[in-house]
Structure 1
Amino acid sequence: MARKILVVLSEYGYWGEELLGPVTAFDRQGYETHFATPSGKRPVALPPSLDPAYVDPPLGRSVTTPEVALRARELDESDRLDDPISIADLVPERPYNSAPDFLRKAEAYYREIARLDETVVATYDALVIVGGSGPIVDLANNERLHELILAFARTGKPVTAECYGVACLAFARDWEDRASIIWGKHVTGHCKEYDYKDGTGFVGVDFNMGPPPYPLEYILRDATGPDGRYHGNVGKETSVIVDHPFITARSTPDSFLAGEKTVEALESGLRRYGW
């Protein structure tokens, strides 16, 4: 039976190559890939990610080859992304402490969360969070997605995150001790040198945020703690870190490698790479 992978995308724009890279590796391996978004809305690629003429401001060059742009556009326009799973339907919402009858609601919530291991995690072999600027809006602080990440990590199944999607790992934490799930881990993610100074954009929102609202590198340095480490690998063409069960990718050029390492983790038991 083919392995199944759950790929999570933002509804506010994903980077084309950061979806194409992992999906290419999974298709080559014969995996069955299912897609999910926060509310079940169809995801759309960020327009610059499909334009080989677009010059990435921090790097001063195009980061998308004509071949990748074409293949990413074909994937973005295909029917594969037409009916994504709704994370809101998959994972319950944690009740407010101020909600009437909070204790009963909390008990029901934890019963449903426990079932994630028996349903979603039992169905899928790995979880992948695709990057781009969109995750800043609807994935980074998405508590339902955090619970999904925690469920996969509990069972030791790979969790792959790219670029600004790595923020989801930093903010996913047990409700009791509030420590990040990547505390003590080695990770990479969008480094400060790669951040825009202006022009951070989103699909469906006519708003130029300027720079990203938070520097992911600083958050990852803090979230990994004294026994973990953030690796920027600035100046190196690629940066992918495997520290089981997490596979993290810095940015666009790391997308295909991240997919390959996810396959290695599943097929060969890869537990450490890049540090």
Structure 2
Amino acid sequence: MAKVMAVLSSGYADEENNYVTGWWAEELFAPVLALQEEGHTVGLASPKGGKPVVDPLSLSEDYDPEGKYKKLYESGIADKTTPIVDVKASDYDAIFIVGGHGAMFDLAHNEDLHAIINIVYGLGGIVAAVCHGPAPLVYTKLPNGRGILEGLNVTGYPNSMEPKEVRGLLPFSLEDELRKIANYKAETNEKEYVVWGSDQILTGRDPQSSPQFGKELAKKLTSIEKKEEEKFFD
């Protein structure tokens, strides 16, 4: 079974504009469920450690009508995270970055996270991100100075889907930044959209794509494990 590290925003608050955000519930729980179904284990990390702030909208009836993700959140399974600085990256086969607007604020330029991404990637592991989760990948440079997403097919939350009330509050446009370095696609005509930029890079467009994103990541990790087992027994 593979070990996966899920990285969440610790949360962000703009009191002047009465704006609170953090990680998005479905974008953590849907992939975790898919990974666990394949027998993989998932650890949690955030910049500050402890209990990270969930975006309250992601637990509302509008975005979680059946209350599935709210129930998982209230169970406390996301209450304890390891500070990013304390994560031993070499222990993990993959890292996936959970979306939510919080990722734009405290994950995008987090150098400790960039270092972890580089270690996982350098050891041949998978680097994955969903929705606003690609924000830190925009600024992650490989040891050779090349951007980790440079020239790859990628997706992420598109400008056309951003709520008007938050556009002026975000530090940058994820789509605009991705377009500068990669082959960005939104495929908004598709209900779900995920794309492998390479054998090691997976991105998903939005919350609705989270289940498929999780399945793709889980299946890839299972496939890698099977190949390694076959080599061992040859």
In the superposition, the TM-score normalised over structure 1's length comes to 0.73
Once the two structures are TM-superposed, the CA of residue 176 in structure 1 deviates from its matched residue by: 5.7
Once the two structures are TM-superposed, the CA of residue 214 in structure 1 deviates from its matched residue by: 1.2
Of 27, 33, 37, the match for 1:24: 33
Of 46, 49, 52, the match for 1:40: 49
Structure (1 or 2) with the larger CA radius of gyration: 1
Contact map agreement 1:191 1:232 (CA 8 A) in 2: yes
Once the two structures are TM-superposed, the CA of residue 235 in structure 1 deviates from its matched residue by: 2.1
Determine what percentage of the aligned residue pairs are the same residue: 34
Q: Distance in 2 between matches of 1:250 and 1:211?
A: 21
Contact map agreement 1:196 1:211 (CA 8 A) in 2: no
Q: Distance in 2 between matches of 1:35 and 1:214?
A: 26
Of 211, 215, 226, the match for 1:256: 211
Matched position secondary structure for 1:161: strand
Q: 5+ unaligned residues in a row in structure 1: which ranges? A: 54-63, 91-118, 201-209, 270-275
Matched position secondary structure for 1:7: strand
Once the two structures are TM-superposed, the CA of residue 221 in structure 1 deviates from its matched residue by: 1.1
Q: How many residues align?
A: 213
In the superposition, the TM-score normalised over structure 2's length comes to 0.85
The match for 1:161 is 129
C-alpha change, 1:159 and 1:47, in structure 2 (3 Å) is: same
Q: 5+ unaligned residues in a row in structure 2: which ranges? A: 12-21, 225-234
Q: Which amino acid aligns with 2:2?
A: R
The match for 1:190 is 157
Matched, 1:82 2:82: no
Matched position secondary structure for 1:151: helix
Once the two structures are TM-superposed, the CA of residue 48 in structure 1 deviates from its matched residue by: 0.9
What pairs with 1:92-171 in structure 2 (closer than 5 Å)? Answer: 119-121=88-90, 123-171=91-139
Contact map agreement 2:97 2:129 (CA 8 A) in 1: yes
Matched position secondary structure for 1:164: coil
Once the two structures are TM-superposed, the CA of residue 19 in structure 1 deviates from its matched residue by: 0.8
The match for 2:193 is 239
